[in-house]
Amino acid sequence: MKLSKLFLFLAIVGTLFINACKDDEKTPDPNSTNKTKSQLLIGSNWKLKSATFNPPIVVQFGTATITLNNLSEIPGVDSCQLDNLLMFNADSTITLDNGKKKCVMSDPQIVKDGNWRFLNTETQIEITNSEYFKLISQGTNKVILDQVTITATEMKGQTDYEFNDPTKPDPVTTKINFTFTK
């Protein structure tokens, strides 16, 4: 009898102790609660934070070796392009904001810049007819961003890239690992 009262007492105390230790109910973060990739992507300004080559591109000029680690090191990428903002719109278009450092001062600040759509259960984004992505589209007017992950503040993924090395007959193939932030 004493043992069953002790067991009942310990069970009640244990239940009270466990309930007292539970985390307080937290207000859910409206930026991260069960939003789809489309909801996270659409309607926000995305700025390229990094675009690194994997593996790096190595170019040999005589005895000089140049290693290119980032897309911004490629000839043809101007610093004025690095502050541009992309907005993926619900109508599958892309809007480009030319940023504070416009490449051509007479260009409009905001322009339509191609189209986008998700592929393969939202793990890829296909971008077509985009001036912003023209450098990496290799003349096809299409870029596939692969292994795409999107959070409330960041989009990451990768894409294939072929660099036309002037010292080699065939292009150098690599991947670009990219990160965009809001």
53: in domain: yes
CA atoms within 13 A on the CB side of 158: 11
More confident residue, 95 or 106: 95
Using the predicted structure, report yes or no on whether residue 31 has a pLDDT greater than 70: no
Separation between Cα atoms, residue 114 and residue 140, nearest integer Å: 13
Domain tally, the chain: 1
Report the 3 state secondary structure along 112-125. EEEEEEEECCCCEE
- The model carries a pTM of 0.76
Phi, psi of 106 (to 5 degrees): -80, -10
Residue 134: the pLDDT is 84
* CATH code: domain of residue 52: 2.40.128.280
Q: Confirm if 87 and 46 have CB atoms less than 8 A apart.
A: yes
5: in domain: no
Range of the domain at 41: 37-181
43: in domain: yes
* C-beta neighbour count of 132 within 10 angstroms: 20
106: in domain: yes
